[in-house]
């Protein structure tokens, strides 16, 4: 019996690919419709997770075009007959090389064309849920973050990690852009916001502002 004590959004993290990327199943508890954020690979495990939670997948969301985050997305979308939303079109060049990158990383990768490219300020829906899209370039130029304000939850991909930040030594990576994305776009969401990073354990923005060696307040101020 659903009552007011049931949170509107639930999430389950399923690490996938040899790079242990945190694919996240998010779902609307009222409709039991859900989405995978960054279905990078291990598609049978992902489908099993959705079945285990009784969730019907209605779309696939993508934070950025790296192989561990979306190598399997085009394949899964075809299998499930669902659309792909994201990332920002500036990651088009990464998605175009998923087949080659897959061969190099030992991950099944396939280039795809999203049904919807995303931009800063867009909204995406999952069941009755509405998440904000925040364009956070730096790790890749077209990286987006998904934020569900009522749950104080953000899915940040490879922008920010517990105790670290995303690499910026890839093509079109930009360190200054990344720092600006984190401090100018993520911090204003509030310190109590919990985030799922692309790899490793969850954290909160307050924790990172206090202790992250790259973007803590005292590091930025120095
Ligand atoms: Zn990445
Ligand atoms: Zn990654």
Looking up residue 150, the CATH number of its domain turns out to be 3.60.15.10
Q: Which ligand is nearest to the CA of 68?
A: 2
Give 37 Cα–ligand 2 centroid separation in angstroms: 12
Flag whether 214 is in a domain.
yes
pLDDT at 222: 85
Residues, CB-to-ion distance under 5 Å, ligand 2: 68, 158, 198
Q: What are the Cα distances from residue 222, in Å, to 179, 213, 217, 219?
A: 14, 12, 9, 5
Geometric angle at alpha carbon 199, from 44 and 52, rounded to 5°? 30
Number of domain units in the chain: 1
Query: Which residues is 9 bridged to in the sheet?
Result: 28
Taking only the tens place, the pLDDT of each residue in 126-159 is 999 999 999 999 999 999 999 999 999 999 999 9
Flag whether 40 is in a domain.
yes
Residue 216: pLDDT above 80?
yes
pLDDT at 5: 76
Residue 201: pLDDT above 60?
yes
Of residues 214 and 106, more confidence is placed in: 214
pLDDT at 2: 52
Domain with 66, as residue range(s), is 9-221
Give 157 Cα–ligand 1 centroid separation in angstroms: 7
Flag whether 22 is in a domain.
yes
Flag whether 1 is in a domain.
no
Flag whether 4 is in a domain.
no
Flag whether 112 is in a domain.
yes
Taking only the tens place, the pLDDT of each residue in 3-37 is 567 899 999 999 999 999 999 999 999 999 999 99
For the residues 89-96, what does the mean pLDDT come to? 98
Q: What are the Cα distances from residue 168, in Å, to 79, 95, 127, 159, 173?
A: 33, 17, 34, 10, 4
pLDDT at 210: 98
Q: Which ligand is nearest to the CA of 200?
A: 2
Could you give the count of Cα atoms lying within 13 Å of 157 in the half-sphere of its Cβ? 37
Residues 6+ apart with CB under 8 A from 5: none
Flag whether 2 is in a domain.
no
Residue tagged 């489908």 (tokens): 47
CB 182 within 8 A of CB 212: no
* Number of neighbouring beta carbons within 10 Å of residue 117: 19
């Amino acid at each position: 019996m659903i009552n007011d004590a049931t949170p509107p959004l639930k999430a389950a993290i399923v690490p996938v690919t040899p790079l242990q990327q945190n694919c996240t199943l998010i779902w609307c508890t009222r409709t039991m419709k859900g989405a995978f954020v960054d279905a990078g690979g291990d598609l049978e495990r992902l489908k099993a997770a959705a079945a285990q939670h009784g969730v019907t997948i209605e779309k696939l969301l993508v934070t950025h075009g790296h192989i561990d985050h979306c190598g399997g997305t085009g394949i899964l979308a075809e299998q499930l007959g669902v659309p792909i939303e994201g990332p920002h079109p500036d990651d088009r060049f990464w998605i175009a090389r998923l087949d080659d990158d897959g061969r190099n990383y030992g991950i099944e990768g396939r280039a795809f064309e999203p049904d919807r490219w995303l931009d800063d300020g867009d909204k995406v829906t999952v069941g009755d849920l509405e998440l904000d899209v925040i364009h956070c370039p730096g790790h890749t130029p077209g990286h987006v973050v998904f934020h569900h304000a009522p749950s104080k939850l953000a899915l940040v991909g490879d922008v920010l990690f517990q105790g670290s930040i995303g690499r910026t030594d890839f093509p079109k990576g930009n360190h200054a852009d990344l720092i600006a994305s984190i401090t100018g776009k993520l911090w204003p969401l509030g310190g109590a916001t919990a985030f799922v990073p692309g790899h490793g354990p969850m954290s909160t923005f307050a924790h990172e502002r206090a202790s992250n060696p790259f973007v803590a307040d005292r590091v930025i101020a120095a």
